């Protein structure tokens, strides 16, 4: 029974709207929701057909509506041209993106425009992967509506962490086409972590690995969860490695062992039977040790767990290589991980479980159903967005831009206003003077271009930067704004790992009226702000140029002629004078002149120094 609310303005009863979580997978898809009484996520099992809906769409010849799911899967061998599977691999891709993999599919992918998005030909109609994915989503939506006996119009849909913008957008569009408002696209590993209850408490800090081995794809992601923010530190994987390959290893083994090649040739039903038997053996060997079944009248096919392990070991090893790479990319060791989560039906294979646990040096967590875990997490995310877990995660927006002061008193926005919180953003900076060992970081809030018009929140020094030439230190400044609006600013010099952090409460002391006033000001002053910014930017360019030219002349006077030195001094003076005018065009003109003048001999000196360096000497 769904929760019922009373609409206070009309006095009428209204049912709380259900937002479902959808795992739109390459091989299988599922839809889940939060049970209103138990408050637990549940995968929907409509009419007892099971929770898993194979991501297969069959277009019956002459028929109007396509068939989706287990029933459609049966046509994969008998009517492959009209049976579309693995459409997720095509989402948001051009024909060129697909490359040689386009030929591996049993159906026809259109290649007349290699730049455009792929289309699939079924009979005399063309479908985009978005339309086909929408068919799967429509089926999931229908099952949810039928099982829950209520309209379903909103959803959270998951995508792999490595999906790019175009693939995410395509997923969103598919949702819209299926009549769903897609409230959020969530990364699959994030959903898996949520399902395991990780990241649900705001002050939790955890680092986890999510290992996902499905029917046709494999990926591993390393996530850092900090103050309700899920950050993907790295991902790795193979989009053409999964349970199907384990089945194929068994098929190849039996075919070779019993010389089945001639028997199987041109016998599609027999090939199909062998494939089903191989998958049955694989599943059986996840629990028991010896598999045996009749294939043809006088042939029994057998496989032991030990034999199976040897057949699949190279495939499992490939996944471990990816894990090693993902961990290295995240600059972590197994000891840094708080948990290893397993996703995807193929993680039920004992060798997979053992290998993953051994590599990460801890027992992997497989307590939730690996087929359902992503959909369950998506349902939790949906519940958060529905506002049912305010105690858990406050998804709010920050009313004013947060940024730091850069050269010339300019505001460099890091987190723009209206960003959903919690959020995290950062940028890299460097020093402007040779040998600079401190960097002042001033944090501001507001919409104006000049920091002096905004509100200063904090200031701190990043000290102990090793002395280096200007521009060499790499300082990462990160803003982490948690769900309570508390801002943590961290600065790290990457070459030396010098770090410093402060915590600030930006909203403190600002009333709604003040926030409104700051926004109004930014609009009324927009034009003069832009002009002031341009002058400051020109001044900054000029000051950098002066600094560099003077240093250059000082260091390389031996390689310059008398005339070059005097001419440069005059041009430098003119540039300095132009600064006094405070006019953008005058300053930039003087910058250009000085640059024109010095370029030829700067190049000459560069050549000399390269030659000398190659001769093993160093000039200054
Ligand atoms: P998914 O794409 O996550 O739905 O994964 C489906 C894959 O998991 C298929 O290749 C299945 O054969 C495989 N699978 C499901 N159950 C088992 C099991 N008990 N043992 C081994 N593999 C399984």
**Per-residue pLDDT reduced to its tens digit, 377-395:** 999 999 988 877 655 443 4
Question: Shortest CA distance to 464 belongs to which of 456, 455, 473?
Answer: 473
Q: Write the DSSP symbol of residue 89.
A: G
In a domain, 394, yes or no: no
In a domain, 389, yes or no: no
Residue 447 is among the residues annotated as catalytic for this protein: no
- For residue 95, give the 3-state DSSP assignment: helix
Q: How would residue 538 be classed by pLDDT, with cut points 50, 70 and 90?
A: confident
Which residue has a Cα nearest atom 21 of ligand 1? 283
Same domain, 58 and 85: yes
Residue 212 is among the residues annotated as catalytic for this protein: yes
The total number of structural domains that make up the chain: 4
pLDDT at 16: 65
Q: pLDDT tens digit string along 379-437? A: 999 998 887 765 544 345 566 789 999 888 999 999 987 677 778 999 999 888 888 98
Same domain, 118 and 84: yes
Task: Single out the residue in 353, 382, 411 at which a domain terminates.
Answer: 382
- The CA angle 96-100-102, to the nearest 5 degrees, is 75
- Is residue 170 within 8 A of residue 129, CB to CB? The reply is yes
pLDDT at 9: 41
Please tell me the number of Cα atoms within 13 Å of 109 on its side-chain side.
27
Atom from ligand 1 closest to the CA of residue 28:
4
pLDDT at 200: 86
Task: Single out the residue in 523, 544, 565 at which a domain terminates.
Answer: 523
Question: Shortest CA distance to 366 belongs to which of 390, 386, 340, 401?
Answer: 340
pLDDT at 306 over 50: yes
pLDDT at 525: 74
Q: Tell me what the mean pLDDT of segment 277-285 comes to.
A: 97
Q: Which of 215, 217, 356 to mutate to test the pocket of ligand 1 (most atoms within 8 A of CB)?
A: 215
Provide, rounded to the nearest whole percent, the portion of the chain with pLDDT above 70. Answer: 89
Domain with residue 344: its CATH number is 3.30.420.40
Q: How would residue 460 be classed by pLDDT, with cut points 50, 70 and 90?
A: confident
CA distance linking residue 179 with residue 134, whole number of Å: 9
Same domain, 49 and 186: yes
Residue 566 class from Cβ within 10 Å (0-12 exposed, 13-18 middle, 19+ buried)? exposed
The CA 214 to ligand 1 mean position distance, Å, reads: 6
- Is residue 50 within 8 A of residue 184, CB to CB? The reply is no
Q: Write the DSSP symbol of residue 104.
A: G
Atom from ligand 1 closest to the CA of residue 287:
19
pLDDT at 130 over 60: yes
- Is residue 210 within 8 A of residue 343, CB to CB? The reply is yes
Q: Tell me what the mean pLDDT of segment 462-481 comes to.
A: 89
pLDDT at 232: 84
The CA 455 to ligand 1 mean position distance, Å, reads: 56
The structure tokens listed for 552 are: 């250059």
Q: How would residue 55 be classed by pLDDT, with cut points 50, 70 and 90?
A: very high
Same domain, 512 and 579: no
pLDDT at 147: 95
The CA 277 to ligand 1 mean position distance, Å, reads: 14
> Which residues, 6 or more positions from 34, have their beta carbon under 8 angstroms from its beta carbon?
40, 41, 42, 379, 380, 382, 383, 388
Same domain, 131 and 15: yes
In a domain, 587, yes or no: yes
Range of the domain at 583: 528-614
Q: Tell me what the mean pLDDT of segment 291-318 comes to.
A: 96
Domain with residue 583: its CATH number is 1.20.1270.10
Which residue has a Cα nearest atom 9 of ligand 1? 215
CA distance linking residue 543 with residue 466, whole number of Å: 23
Long-range contacts of 306-315 (CB under 8 A, 24+ apart): 307/253, 308/250, 308/281, 308/282, 308/351, 309/350, 309/351, 311/249, 311/250, 311/253, 312/246, 312/249, 312/349, 312/351, 313/351, 315/241, 315/245, 315/246, 315/249
Residue 231 is among the residues annotated as catalytic for this protein: no
Q: Tell me what the mean pLDDT of segment 561-589 comes to.
A: 90
pLDDT at 609 over 70: no
Q: How would residue 233 be classed by pLDDT, with cut points 50, 70 and 90?
A: confident
In a domain, 566, yes or no: yes
In a domain, 467, yes or no: yes
DSSP E strand stretches across 357-514: 396-397, 402-406, 410-415, 420-421, 423-429, 439-445, 455-462, 475-481, 487-493, 498-504
pLDDT at 620 over 50: no
CA distance linking residue 97 with residue 117, whole number of Å: 9
CA distance linking residue 112 with residue 92, whole number of Å: 17
Task: Single out the residue in 382, 411, 440 at which a domain terminates.
Answer: 382
pLDDT at 483 over 90: no
> Which residues, 6 or more positions from 180, have their beta carbon under 8 angstroms from its beta carbon?
137, 141, 152, 153, 154, 155
Provide, rounded to the nearest whole percent, the portion of the chain with pLDDT above 90. Answer: 49
Among the ranges given (5-14, 161-170, 346-355), the one the predictor scored with the smallest mean pLDDT:
5-14
Please tell me which residue in 97, 212, 219, 447 is annotated as part of the active site: 212
pLDDT at 513: 64
pLDDT at 584: 87
pLDDT at 578 over 50: yes
Cα separation of the two ends of the chain: 80
Atom from ligand 1 closest to the CA of residue 344:
3
Domain with residue 444: its CATH number is 2.60.34.10
Higher pLDDT, 7 or 98: 98
- For residue 125, give the 3-state DSSP assignment: strand
Which residue has a Cα nearest atom 20 of ligand 1? 283
In a domain, 391, yes or no: no
DSSP for 426-456?
A: EEEE--SSTT---EEEEEEESS-SBGGGSEE
The CA 252 to ligand 1 mean position distance, Å, reads: 19
- Is residue 466 within 8 A of residue 447, CB to CB? The reply is no
Same domain, 36 and 135: yes
The CA 285 to ligand 1 mean position distance, Å, reads: 12
Q: What mean pLDDT is reported for the chain?
A: 87
Same domain, 41 and 147: yes
pLDDT at 571 over 80: yes
pLDDT at 505: 60
CB contact burial 514-529 (16+ within 10 A = b; e otherwise) = ebeebeebbeebeeeb
Q: Which residues line ligand 1 (CB under 6 A)?
A: 25, 27-28, 214-215, 242-244, 279, 282-283, 286, 344-346, 348-349, 371
In a domain, 406, yes or no: yes
Q: How would residue 510 be classed by pLDDT, with cut points 50, 70 and 90?
A: low
Atom from ligand 1 closest to the CA of residue 26:
2
The CA 458 to ligand 1 mean position distance, Å, reads: 53
Q: Tell me what the mean pLDDT of segment 236-240 comes to.
A: 92
Same domain, 479 and 608: no
Please tell me which residue in 46, 131, 139, 188 is annotated as part of the active site: 188
Q: Which of 31, 282, 315 to mutate to test the pocket of ligand 1 (most atoms within 8 A of CB)?
A: 282
CB contact burial 328-358 (16+ within 10 A = b; e otherwise) = eebebeeeebebbbbbbbbbbbebbbebbbe
Same domain, 548 and 443: no
Please tell me which residue in 23, 219, 371, 490 is annotated as part of the active site: 23
The four Cα atoms 482, 484, 486, 489 give a dihedral, to 10 degrees, of 10
Residue 219 is among the residues annotated as catalytic for this protein: no
Same domain, 181 and 226: no
Atom from ligand 1 closest to the CA of residue 52:
4
Q: How would residue 530 be classed by pLDDT, with cut points 50, 70 and 90?
A: confident
CA distance linking residue 185 with residue 89, whole number of Å: 17
pLDDT at 560 over 80: yes
Same domain, 353 and 434: no
The structure tokens listed for 35 are: 């049970």
CA distance linking residue 69 with residue 77, whole number of Å: 15
pLDDT at 374 over 90: yes
Which residue has a Cα nearest atom 19 of ligand 1? 283
Determine the length of the chain. Answer: 620
DSSP for 311-326?
A: HHHHHHHHHHHHHHHH
CA distance linking residue 76 with residue 85, whole number of Å: 8
In a domain, 271, yes or no: yes
Same domain, 107 and 226: no
Residue 1 class from Cβ within 10 Å (0-12 exposed, 13-18 middle, 19+ buried)? exposed
- Is residue 444 within 8 A of residue 456, CB to CB? The reply is yes
């Amino acid at each position: 029974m769904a929760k019922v609310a009373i609409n206070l303005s009309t006095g009428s009863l209204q049912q709380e709207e259900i937002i479902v979580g959808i795992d739109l997978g390459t091989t299988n898809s599922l839809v889940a929701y939060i049970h209103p009484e138990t408050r637990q996520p549940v995968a929907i099992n409509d009419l007892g057909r099971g929770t898993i809906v194979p991501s297969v769409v069959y277009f019956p010849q002459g028929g109007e509506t396509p068939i989706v799911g287990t029933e459609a899967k049966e046509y994969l061998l008998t009517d492959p041209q009209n049976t579309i599977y693995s459409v997720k691999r095509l989402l948001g891709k051009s024909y060129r993106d697909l490359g040689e993999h386009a030929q591996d599919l049993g159906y026809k992918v259109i290649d007349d425009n290699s730049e455009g998005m792929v289309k699939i030909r079924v009979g005399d109609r063309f479908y985009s992967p978005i339309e086909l994915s929408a068919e799967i989503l429509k089926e999931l939506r229908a099952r949810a509506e039928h099982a829950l006996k209520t309209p379903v119009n909103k959803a959270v849909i998951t995508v792999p962490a490595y999906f790019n913008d175009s693939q995410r957008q395509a997923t969103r569009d598919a949702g819209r086409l299926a009549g769903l408002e897609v409230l959020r696209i969530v990364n699959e590993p994030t959903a898996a972590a949520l399902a395991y209850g990780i990241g649900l408490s705001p002050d939790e800090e955890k680092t986890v690995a999510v290992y996902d081995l499905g029917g046709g794809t494999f990926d591993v992601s390393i996530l850092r969860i900090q103050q309700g923010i899920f950050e993907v530190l790295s991902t790795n994987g193979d989009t053409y490695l999964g349970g199907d390959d384990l089945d194929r290893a068994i098929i190849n083994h039996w075919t070779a062992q019993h010389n089945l090649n001639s028997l199987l040739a041109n016998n599609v039903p027999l090939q199909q039977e062998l494939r089903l038997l191989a998958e049955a053996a694989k599943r059986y060997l996840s629990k028991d040790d010896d598999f045996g079944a009749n294939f043809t009248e006088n042939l029994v096919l057998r496989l032991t767990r030990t034999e199976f392990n040897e057949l699949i070991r190279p495939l499992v090893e490939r996944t471990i290589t990816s894990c090693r790479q993902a961990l290295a990319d995240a600059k972590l060791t197994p000891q840094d991980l708080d948990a290893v989560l397993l996703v995807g039906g193929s993680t039920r294979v004992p060798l997979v479980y053992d290998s993953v646990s051994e590599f990460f040096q801890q027992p992997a967590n497989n307590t939730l159903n690996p087929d359902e875990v992503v959909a369950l997490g998506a349902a939790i995310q949906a519940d958060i967005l529905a506002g049912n877990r305010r105690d858990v995660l406050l998804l709010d927006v920050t009313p004013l831009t947060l940024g730091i002061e850069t050269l010339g008193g300019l505001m460099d926005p890091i987190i723009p206003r209206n960003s959903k919180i919690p959020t995290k953003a950062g940028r890299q900076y460097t020093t402007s003077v040779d040998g600079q060992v401190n960097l002042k970081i001033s944090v501001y809030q507001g919409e104006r271009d000049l920091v002096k018009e905004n509100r200063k929140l904090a200031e701190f020094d990043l000290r102990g930067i090793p002395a280096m030439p200007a521009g060499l230190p790499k300082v990462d400044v990160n803003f982490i704004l948690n769900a309570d609006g508390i801002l943590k600013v961290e600065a790290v010099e990457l070459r030396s790992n010098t770090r410093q952090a402060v915590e600030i409460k930006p909203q403190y002391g600002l009333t709604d009226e003040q926030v409104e006033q700051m926004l109004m000001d930014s609009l009324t002053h927009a034009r003069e702000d832009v002009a002031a910014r341009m002058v400051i930017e020109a001044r900054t360019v000029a000051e950098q140029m002066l600094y560099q030219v003077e240093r250059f002349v000082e260091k390389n006077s031996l390689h310059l002629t008398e005339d070059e030195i005097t001419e440069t001094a005059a041009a430098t003076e003119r540039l300095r004078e132009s600064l006094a005018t405070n006019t953008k065009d005058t300053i930039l003109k003087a910058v250009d002149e000085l640059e024109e003048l010095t370029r030829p001999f700067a190049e000459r000196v560069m050549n000399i120094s390269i030659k000398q360096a190659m001769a093993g000497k160093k000039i200054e």
